[in-house]
């Protein structure tokens, strides 16, 4: 079984004065097929945490282990391959390429290894079908609604069968109904694929839909129903 373990993860950013401490000894683990939401107000460190887990940034202290591998011990080329193979990202912005169709956008992660294979094209079609977008396969981003564009971004995150999907405010740019649909799609696709999913958001409504819900409070990760006082802080 694939596992993600995060242990005693801390992050400080240097500033001209004293370092800005954003994360303090964050720890949790997740198994394949499980999902987790992390909620907290703007500026509390959600993106920083997700970027470190996604190997886009490095921790000041602590460890991340994904599928038995410590990504921070890899050389840059290995790390890029590891990230491409194991991790899918969904951001608040869709980051689709405007000149490419929906299906071409879904296939972009395959290009890191050369051309997309015919199996990958079939998989892209299946993912777009599961996202309700069969009729939009050949549409370019400007020919789709915001919700449809984000559905394409979800399909793109899954194209290489990642073991871990990371979503940073995936519904932040959408109206309430569309946001609900994207939340449903993310969870449904993660379960279909038996991937792990971590979603960070300031939306309690979205966060509550996950199997496990935690929150970031002054840099510490807590169960969503506990208070800072109850944990002895
Ligand atoms: N590269 C950086 N350098 C310095 N400070 C940063 C950097 N990235 C984020 N921060 C600071 O860390 C804190 C947490 O930011 P962020 O993780 O983006 O929060 P959130 O995603 O919860 O809104 C903020 O105070 C932000 O200004
Ligand atoms: Mg953020």
Interval between CA 134 and ligand 2 midpoint (Å): 31
53 falls within a domain:
yes
Question: Is residue 136 one of the residues assigned to a domain?
Answer: yes
Tell me the C-alpha distance between 153 and 12, whole Å.
31
Half-sphere exposure of 168 (CA within 13 A, CB side): 19
User: Whose C-alpha lies nearest to ligand 1, atom 26?
Assistant: 43
Structural domain for 136, as ranges = 3-223
Q: Is the CB of 16 under 6 A from ligand 1?
A: no
Query: Three-class SS of residue 97?
Result: coil
Residue 232 has pLDDT above 60, yes or no: no
Ligand nearest to C-alpha 218: 1
Residue 1 pLDDT level (bands cut at 50, 70, 90): confident
Tens digit of each residue's pLDDT (9 = 90 or more) over 186-221: 999 999 999 999 999 999 999 999 999 999 999 999
Residue 120 lies in a domain: yes
Q: For ligand 1, what atom is nearest to the CA of residue 202?
A: 22
SS (H, E, C) 178-191: HHHHHHHHHHHHHH
The answer to whether the CB of 189 falls within 8 A of the CB of 196 is no
Among protein residues, the one with the nearest Cα to ligand 1's atom 18 is 47
Ligand 1 atom with the smallest distance to the CA of 15 is 4
What is the Cα–Cα distance from 100 to 70, expressed in whole angstroms?
35
Q: What is the CATH number of the domain that holds 201?
A: 3.40.50.300
Predicted confidence at residue 28, as pLDDT, reads: 98
Pocket test for ligand 1, best of 16, 43, 53 (most atoms within 8 A of CB): 43
Q: How far apart are CA 152 and CA 106, in angstroms?
A: 6
- Measured in Å, residue 114 CA sits from the centre of ligand 2 at 32
141 lies in a domain? Answer: yes
> Quick one: pLDDT band at residue 226, thresholds 50, 70, 90?
low
Residue 229 lies in a domain: no
Q: Is residue 230 part of a domain?
A: no
The edge-to-edge listing of strands for the beta sheet with 164-168 is 87-90, 164-168, 196-201, 35-39, 212-217, 220-223
Torsions phi, psi of 226, nearest 5?
A: -90, 160
Residue 224 pLDDT grade (very low, low, confident, very high; cuts 50, 70, 90)? confident
pLDDT the model gives residue 227: 58
Kindly state whether residue 124 falls inside one of the protein's structural domains. Answer: yes
The reply to whether 233 falls in a domain is no
- Compute how many other C-beta atoms are within 10 angstroms of the C-beta atom of residue 8: 12
- Ligand 1 midpoint to CA 152 (Å): 27
Which protein residue's CA is at the shortest distance from atom 3 of ligand 1?
Answer: 13
For the cut 80, the answer to whether the pLDDT of residue 131 exceeds it is yes
- Quote the pLDDT of residue 112: 85
Q: Is the pLDDT of residue 229 over 50?
A: no
For residues 161 and 126, the answer to whether their CB atoms sit within 8 Å is: no
Radius of gyration of the chain (CA): 18
Q: What is the pLDDT of residues 103-121, one digit of tens each?
A: 999 999 999 888 999 999 9
Ligand with smallest separation from the Cα of 41: 1
Over the chain, what is the mean pLDDT?
95
CB 217 within 8 A of CB 44: yes
Alpha helices in the chain (DSSP H): 46-53, 76-86, 102-107, 118-130, 146-158, 176-193, 204-207
- pTM here is 0.95
Predicted local distance difference test score (pLDDT) of residue 123: 98
The 10s digit of each residue's pLDDT in 31-44 is 999 999 999 999 99
CA distance linking residue 191 with residue 225, whole number of Å: 25
Quote the percentage of the chain above a pLDDT of 90: 94
Give the pairing of strands 164-168 and 87-90. Answer: parallel
CB 137 within 8 A of CB 101: yes
Q: How many domains are there within the chain?
A: 1
Question: Mean per-residue pLDDT for 68-91?
Answer: 97
């Amino acid at each position: 079984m694939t596992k993600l373990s995060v242990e005693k993860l801390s992050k400080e950013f240097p500033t001209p004065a004293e370092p800005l401490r954003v994360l303090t000894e964050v720890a949790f683990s997740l198994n394949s097929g499980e999902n987790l939401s992390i909620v907290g107000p703007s500026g509390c460190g959600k993106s920083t945490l997700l970027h470190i887990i996604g190997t886009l940034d490095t921790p000041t202290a602590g460890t991340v282990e994904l599928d038995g591998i410590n990504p921070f011990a890899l050389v840059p080329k290995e790390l890029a391959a590891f990230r491409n193979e194991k991790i899918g990202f969904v951001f608040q912005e869709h980051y689709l390429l405007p000149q490419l169709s929906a299906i071409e956008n879904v296939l972009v992660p395959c290009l890191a290894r050369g051309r997309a294979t015919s199996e990958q094209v079939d998989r892209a079609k299946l993912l777009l079908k599961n996202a309700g977008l069969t009729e939009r396969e050949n549409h370019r981003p400007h020919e789709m609604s915001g919700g449809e564009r984000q559905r394409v971004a979800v399909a793109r995150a899954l194209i290489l069968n990642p073991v871990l999907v990371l979503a940073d405010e995936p519904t932040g740019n959408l109206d309430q109904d569309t946001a609900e649909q994207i939340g449903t799609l993310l969870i449904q696709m993660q379960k279909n694929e038996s991937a792990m999913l971590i979603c960070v958001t300031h939306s309690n409504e979205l966060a509550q839909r996950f199997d496990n819900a935690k929150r970031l409070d002054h840099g510490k990760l807590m169960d969503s129903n506990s208070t800072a006082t109850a944990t002895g802080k």
